[in-house]
Structure 1
Amino acid sequence: MDKGILLVTLIFLAIIILPFVFIGLSKKKKRNRFLNKITNLADLRGCTITRHEISNNFIIGIDDSAGCLFFYKKEPDKEILRDFNLKEFKTCKLLNVSRTVNDKQNQLQLVQKLELCFYPIEEDQPEEVIEFYNDEYDSLTLSGELQMIERWEDQINKYLKTLQKEKPAVVPVAKASTSGKNKKKFQKSYK
């Protein structure tokens, strides 16, 4: 009788515990697969991922010393793998595309897209955009993506400000006047 109860208890515990074990292993495998995607790209660029963060279907990482940002996203019909040299940008901004839905009692803001837009230093260069969330093919509910993107926007902008402080100031060189009396003074001072 004791062996029967023990066997039933063990089977019951296995039925309860095994799904959690499989879910954990699946998440770890997905995490490693995502991290390998940006790590391989970073290796190709001669970089090392120093910080990263993973969400349901994307990963973002950065090499702080090289100033390179890496991004991978798995969409239903394609994979997106991108890298950015942050030294080419002056700022980045979170773009939250949402629509308002009227309920009987209140209005609801529904997020349609979350993007991070990078504005280049060179005015003739195009803006670069990373799409983190799109309600057309991502889950209908956000699960921390907005907060994650806000964190990364803040971290990247702080990094870009430190880069701008490190750049040597460009001092315009005043042109010497070479007309009239100033021409003679200029010539005398450098002979």
Structure 2
Amino acid sequence: MDSNTIVWIVLLVLMILPLYWLFQSGSKTRKKLTATLVQLAKEKNSTLTKQDYCDKTIIGFCDQNQFLFYAESTQKGIVTKIVDLNQMKSCKIVTTDKDAIAANGKPTRVIDRLELSLAYINPETPNELLEFYNTANGSFALSGELQLIEKWEHLVNETIKKTVNANNK
């Protein structure tokens, strides 16, 4: 082999290795979060009927027991939450944004944080917040979080509506 071929092989390996490492670490995080979500469901004698994963967040739902399960991988570890949708009256998206200057020099608004806010029927109980995106946690660009949070806002509100209608009969 001549030296040019060896140099190209080394460069190729140096370019592929970080991508492989990045893919592997993301895959491990996803498996760990999925296992955590399944364990949370088992604790409530539930089975996940719907679930979605995006970046470092996983959310799942049991339509039989009306539980919402959430897990997020943070620098401090995995944060989990279980929400009983029978105790909720509404769900909405909370967007925190800030002013920024775009590459073309024009002012623009940039999303800083996306959360799903679930309000309890009891007004004295504080809202449950499920974070989907936060630039403070190292997320630099949205990669499907906005679509995911909109999907789950709709799903949760439909479930709450069905529960309220069933209780009023």
The letter for the 2-side match of 1:155 is: L
**Alignment correspondent of 1:110:** 110
The letter for the 2-side match of 1:130 is: L
**Offset at residue 21 of structure 1 (A):** 7.1
> Which runs of structure 2 are paired with 1:83-98 in the superposition (5 Å)?
83-98=82-97
TM-score (norm 1): 0.73
Q: 1:23-66 CA deviation, whole Å, 9 max, x = no partner?
A: 66554443222110011011011111111000111100000110
Whether contact under 8 Å (2:99, 2:107) holds in the other structure is: yes
Larger radius of gyration: 1
The letter for the 2-side match of 1:106 is: K
Residues 101 and 93 from structure 1, CA distance in 2 versus in 1: closer, same or farther, beyond 3 angstroms? same
The letter for the 1-side match of 2:59 is: I
**Alignment correspondent of 2:65:** 66
Q: Does 1:77 align with 2:87?
A: no
The letter for the 2-side match of 1:160 is: I
**Alignment correspondent of 1:144:** 144
- Name the structure with the higher strand share: 2
Distance of 2:127 and 2:31 partners within structure 1: 30
**Alignment correspondent of 1:153:** 153
Q: Which has the higher contact order (CA 8 A, sep 6+)?
A: 2
The letter for the 1-side match of 2:45 is: G
**Alignment correspondent of 1:163:** 163
Structure 2 gaps, min length 5 = none
Structure 1 gaps, min length 5 = 170-191
**Alignment correspondent of 1:53:** 52
TM-score (norm 2): 0.82
Distance of 2:52 and 2:75 partners within structure 1: 21
Distance of 1:141 and 1:33 partners within structure 2: 23
Whether contact under 8 Å (2:30, 2:56) holds in the other structure is: no
Q: Give the number of aligned pairs.
A: 162
Q: Percent identity?
A: 25
Name the SS of the counterpart of 1:136 in structure 2: helix
Q: 1:114-156 CA deviation, whole Å, 9 max, x = no partner?
A: 1111111112222111122111123211111111101100111
Whether contact under 8 Å (2:96, 2:114) holds in the other structure is: yes
Deviates more, 1:28-37 or 1:97-106: 97-106
Deviates more, 1:120-129 or 1:149-158: 120-129
**Alignment correspondent of 1:133:** 133
Distance of 1:128 and 1:27 partners within structure 2: 27
The letter for the 2-side match of 1:40 is: Q
